[in-house]
Each structure stands twice: as structure tokens, then as C-alpha cells.
Structure 1
């Protein structure tokens, strides 16, 4: 994993390929390519080379930095990209805690920010600061409510909870604690752990002691494997539900047989091959996969799709913004923000996007697909 300096060196070819002699639009990206969020940030870092180099006749220059999964570093990166590189749009970060400080920075600079993280708190409630922020990952409340409805249908009455001790995990717990009782489900506990923890044995034992019908794990990337392995290794055979943060091959490889059977609500990208042949998501995913394979030689993950989708929103907004002002100006940044807010029925890897002035996530439960880990792969639950 590369540090900040090494990461900039690695991206030199990408920046140069975009060119600087002609009119250009500058895109600043900060992501967690190292640290606890690397399982999310690494796929995003590899996606940079696959992004479009020209849009609406304008050269696109990308400046990408590693924030090392650290909120302070993320804020430093954002300020550097805005003040020194004078970017027209800011994308990042991979994690909710690292993205939160960027809200104030983007609002202060009047620069559109597209977060790659998941928590609803990044875009809601709408206010003068969040009006500059958009998010392509479906809000955790959309995903949580959809999975809870499924859990209730299976007859579960008591549900244990283990989640990461940050805004992502607590965001999920908040939704679960509010919605579960309405569906006749009682939460039996609230156990948390840090993404960097090497063991969650204590938390697993405490939840098992409550004898729940099923257990919900609110985590993302490879850290989400720990609770599930701990539960299975201690003989728990009941249902385990996860979040869309586990939609990565690394989760399956690291978890092995212990994560088989895990069920979660996730994005179209993860189960695109199970969707109807005429689904608009198939074309969207194919474009991303082809570009990523051409740049990296392998298949991308949903976390890379977060960056791709963010740039897709920007791509659709650029033509309208160019009619208002030239890149590099405050007027262009404002116009870009306004155009992103007008997004309608745009099929992204993450779902069907319909932005409004009050909703900068733009999804509903039509974008929440019920997914199961089965025989070492992700499939739609039938």
C-alpha cells in the first residue's frame, strides 16, 4: 500500500494523460488506499486510471491522494486539492468518518463534493453545508429497512447486533433500533468493535449469551469477516445478516465457509448477472467493467464502482454546467452542483439515481437488492 507521496508518483501517468495545455476540468480525489479502509480505497485507487480523460470536449485532469483512512489526513488532502490544485469537484473519502470533515471544507470553498462513503448523515438532513454534498452509495437507512423487512418475513423475533464503532456502524444501529420494533423484532444487544481490532471474541460471546434468533453485523470490507468467523467458530448456526459493505471478493476469500450463507441488501453491480437481460444496470456495469479491465487487467469490485458512479454523475452534469461558466471558476462549480442535483433516472452501478434539492442520495428501495453469499459467490436471493 502506497503512502501519500508514493501514491502521487503512481498517478503521474494518469494526470499527464489528461493533459494541461488545453481547457480542462480538474477533479480532486481523496481515498483510503491504506489503513483500515484499504479494502475499500484500494479498488477505488485502481479505478482512477479507468475514468474518462475527456468529457464534452474538455480534458479531465485527476489529482488523487491517499488519506490513509485518517480524518485529519483526509481534511488536509481536501484543502490541498482545493487551494493548491484548484479542483472543480472533490470526490471522497472511502469511509464515513474521513468524509465527515470534508463537508465543511467543500461548503466553505463552494465546491461540489461526492462522497464514496455510505452513511446517510453525509447528505441528511439537508442544510446549507450539505447542499454541496452528494453520495452514490445508497443510504444505510434504505438498505437497513429493506433487509429488516426480509428478516421479519423469515420469522425472526430477536436480533443480536455487532457493528463497527464509527459513524457507519452506529448509523445502521440507529435505523435498526428505530425500525425493528415496528416489525415485531427485538434487538438483544449492542456490541461494537474498531475496524482495526484483531479479535471480536468478547463481543461475539456477549451476543450469543442473549440467544437471538439471528445476528446482524454492521461493518464493511474485510473487518466484517471477524464477527461472522467468531460466531461460527463458537458453534452459532443461526442466520447472520450483513450490510452492503461486504460486497467484495476479499470478504469471501478471507471468510471462506464461515461467511457462506450471509445475507445482505446490496447494489445492482454485485448481482448484475442475475438481473434480466434488458436491465439498464447491465449496460452501466459493462461500461465500468470494460474500462477497469482495460486499465488493470482484472475485474473490479463495488467499491471501485463508487468512484466510477461519482464521475458518471459529474459527466452528466458537465454539459449543462459548461453552458453557464468556464471550468476553474466559482460559477462553474456552482453550476456543476446545480446540474448534479437535477439527475433523473440515471442507472448507476449503485442503483437508479434521482436527485432532488432535498435528496442528494437519490435512491429508494428499488436500488436495494437482496443478496446471499452462496458457494463462494454473490447471488440474488430467490
Structure 2
């Protein structure tokens, strides 16, 4: 009797102990080494600034470096899914890297938040891409602003040079459509590899067509060489860049040869110049200040794309938890659904409004027209 009573007491005591909350595990894949490290380093650094707890749930981030190699991205992605059993994955850094892992996100039912440039990771929407959310502005949103500025400036002919990958190819597609609709003729259409050390041949072909302006569509440091090469060859027309060039090393690497460049990008580059009423200004400044305090340097917008992924998850996790516990397929599915229901969430890059058709969710509040003036970024007025 005494033994049975003791066992009953122990069982009752165990039932009275609050159940421990399972942690939420988030994988992060960045290219913090290799050719696109200028993109990946601020992304990896931003992990330290992301939410560590949501309600009673602790968030653990598992960070892996793919060395800018799409094959390594696949290995890292599978490791996070199969071995770490993560609830969501942020990354990879590069557009080709991200395109190569979408099928594994879908097959495993793991939400993927892609901090990449190309809209091809979410458009056109497919059954696989239902699991992917994008934390950068889609190309058409940025291109609309650039083309509008071209029209205002009287640009009639345009030279285009972009990377020979999903980033450059999608930009070529978007610009062909927009330019055609607005009476701008693309007279040169060139490609190069991110790791190329020369684009002399491509730039000479562009020069031969004598375009009014040239648009470079390339991410990170690869955006610099086409423009500096054209400058060395004497091109005097207006130079445009995409949001892929929105980082301070572009200014340092390009020097005087990138003076006067026009691009459209998030408010982060000119945060002090935008009105205080902008819904993203406060969060952008907070992120910039926290990053500076920790690393003694200003973050690139690429880092903010990862930080915003953390904000999206911070809002979605409590919603998903109402359906299932972290670490389960049901929780991952609920997390995907919660992300898709994001409404008016202000991030560092703009305001997110996700729908079943739009897994990027930006509007005009996610872009500013910016120029390079006296070696610095300046709001184009």
C-alpha cells in the first residue's frame, strides 16, 4: 500500500509540473565567404540582432555558410531539414542558390524566407513556391521606379548588362516588358558571370550602340565592374543600377566612376532623409544603430533582409503555435499559413502585406529613388 501510494504521489507530482515549451529552431544559410560574401556577411551578422524569444518560446538559430556555392547550399539546406529538424529556414544568400533549394523546402514542408533579389523564387506562384517567402523588393517594383525616372529624363535607348543567372535574367525579362511599354528601345543586351574579372567585350558592344543610358543588373560587388569598365571606355550617358548595388562597398569600389548613378532601393540607404512619418523609418534606424553598436560599421540592406525575416517569423510563430507545437509538420504548415496572412508589418525594407499570390508583399513604401552624390547615397529629388 505504501509503495502504491508513493507511486501515485510521484505520478501526480509529475502531472503538476508545467510542461516545458519546445524551442523554435530556425536555420540560416548565408554566403559569408566566397564571391558574394559582401551580401552574406551582413546577413550572417544580423542573426545576433534577431528575436531570441517570442512569448514563452525560445528561438534558436542554426547558422551555416555555403561559401557562395549553390551545391553547398543544397547540402546545408538538407542538413537543416534532416538533421536539425528546423521549423523554418532563412536563406540562402544568392539567387541561384535559393532557386536550387525550393524543391526541398516544398518536399519537406518547411517555410523558406529568401533574402534574395530575383522575383523568380516566388513568381510565378507554383505549388512548390507556396513554401517560399521573399524579404526583398520584387524586380518589377524597383524597375517601375527606374523606368519612370528614365521617362522623365528623356531616355529613348537603353543598354542592359546583367549577370548570367536568375537575378540578371529576370531583370532582363522585366525591363524588356517595361521598356517596350514605355517607348524605350533596348539596343544592347549583355550578360556576364559574377566571378568574371573582365567585361571589356560586353561593354564595347554596348558602347557601339550609343545608348542614352545603361542599366546594370547585378548583386553585390559584381555590380561595380560593368560600370567602371564603361567609364574607363569613355561612356558619358546616365548609369542606372538595381537594388542589388545598394551597399556602401559599391561606393568605395566604384569611387568617382559611379558618381551620379541612379537606383531604386529601400529607405535604409537614405534613412535620415525620408520623412519621420514613413512606417519603416523607426525600425530601420533601430536596426542600423544596433548593428553599428555591435560591429562598428553600417549594415548593408542585404543584412536587413535577414533581419526582416526574423520580424516576420516573430509575428507568425505565436499564430502557428495555436495550431501545433514546434518541431512538428503541423507547426511548419501553420507557420507557412501565418506568414501568408502577414498584414501591414513594418520592416526595415518597407511594409509587408502577404497574400496567397504575393509572397513578397511590398508596395511603393518599399522603395526610394536614390543617386550617388559626392560619393554618398542621396535621396533623388
Q: Indicate the residue corresponding to 1:7 in structure 2.
A: none
Partner SS, residue 101 of structure 2: helix
d(CA) in 2 for partners of 1:294, 1:262? 30
Instruction: Give the TM-score normalised by the residue count of structure 2.
Output: 0.93
Contact kept in structure 2, 1:145 and 1:175, CA below 8 Å: no
Contact kept in structure 2, 1:148 and 1:180, CA below 8 Å: yes
Partner SS, residue 160 of structure 1: strand
d(CA) in 2 for partners of 1:66, 1:84? 16
d(CA) in 1 for partners of 2:136, 2:75? 24
1:178 aligns with 2:201: no
d(CA) in 1 for partners of 2:60, 2:289? 21
d(CA) in 2 for partners of 1:370, 1:36? 27
1:258 aligns with 2:248: no
Q: Indicate the residue corresponding to 2:191 in structure 1.
A: 192
Deviates more, 1:272-281 or 1:246-255: 272-281
Contact kept in structure 1, 2:92 and 2:98, CA below 8 Å: yes
Q: Deviations over 1:236-269 (max 9, x none)?
A: 1110000001111111001000011110110122
Q: Indicate the residue corresponding to 1:31 in structure 2.
A: 30
1:246 aligns with 2:245: yes
d(CA) in 1 for partners of 2:30, 2:330? 26
d(CA) in 1 for partners of 2:87, 2:293? 27
Q: Indicate the residue corresponding to 1:201 in structure 2.
A: 200
d(CA) in 2 for partners of 1:76, 1:290? 34
Q: Indicate the residue corresponding to 2:229 in structure 1.
A: 230
1:334 aligns with 2:325: no
Q: Indicate the residue corresponding to 1:17 in structure 2.
A: none
1:159 aligns with 2:150: no
Deviates more, 1:288-297 or 1:150-159: 288-297
d(CA) in 2 for partners of 1:368, 1:279? 11
Q: Indicate the residue corresponding to 1:122 in structure 2.
A: 121
Task: List aligned pairs for 1:297-308, cutoff 5 A.
Answer: 297-308=296-307
Instruction: Give the TM-score normalised by the residue count of structure 1.
Output: 0.92
**RMSD between aligned alpha carbons?**
1.2
Task: List aligned pairs for 1:269-284, cutoff 5 A.
Answer: 269-284=268-283
* Contiguous gaps of at least 5 residues in structure 2: 1-19
Question: How much has 1:146 moved relative to structure 2?
Answer: 1.9
Q: Indicate the residue corresponding to 1:9 in structure 2.
A: none
Q: Indicate the residue corresponding to 2:323 in structure 1.
A: 324
Question: How much has 1:22 moved relative to structure 2?
Answer: 5.9
d(CA) in 1 for partners of 2:380, 2:293? 31
Contact kept in structure 2, 1:346 and 1:352, CA below 8 Å: yes
d(CA) in 2 for partners of 1:329, 1:96? 29
Contact kept in structure 1, 2:240 and 2:262, CA below 8 Å: yes
Contact kept in structure 1, 2:74 and 2:101, CA below 8 Å: yes
d(CA) in 2 for partners of 1:144, 1:290? 29
Q: Deviations over 1:319-356 (max 9, x none)?
A: 11111111111111111111111111111122111100
- The 1:272/1:65 distance shift into structure 2, 3 A limit, reads same
Contact kept in structure 2, 1:204 and 1:230, CA below 8 Å: yes
Q: Indicate the residue corresponding to 1:141 in structure 2.
A: 140
Equivalent residue pairs, number: 362
d(CA) in 1 for partners of 2:220, 2:267? 18
Q: Indicate the residue corresponding to 1:109 in structure 2.
A: 108
Q: Deviations over 1:57-93 (max 9, x none)?
A: 2111111111111111101100000110000001111
Partner SS, residue 97 of structure 2: helix
d(CA) in 2 for partners of 1:265, 1:147? 6
d(CA) in 2 for partners of 1:162, 1:103? 27
Q: Indicate the residue corresponding to 2:17 in structure 1.
A: none
Task: List aligned pairs for 1:13-52, cutoff 5 A.
Answer: 23-52=22-51
Q: Indicate the residue corresponding to 2:130 in structure 1.
A: 131
* Contiguous gaps of at least 5 residues in structure 1: 1-20
d(CA) in 1 for partners of 2:366, 2:285? 18
d(CA) in 2 for partners of 1:279, 1:37? 31
Contact kept in structure 2, 1:224 and 1:251, CA below 8 Å: yes
Question: How much has 1:151 moved relative to structure 2?
Answer: 0.7
1:290 aligns with 2:289: yes
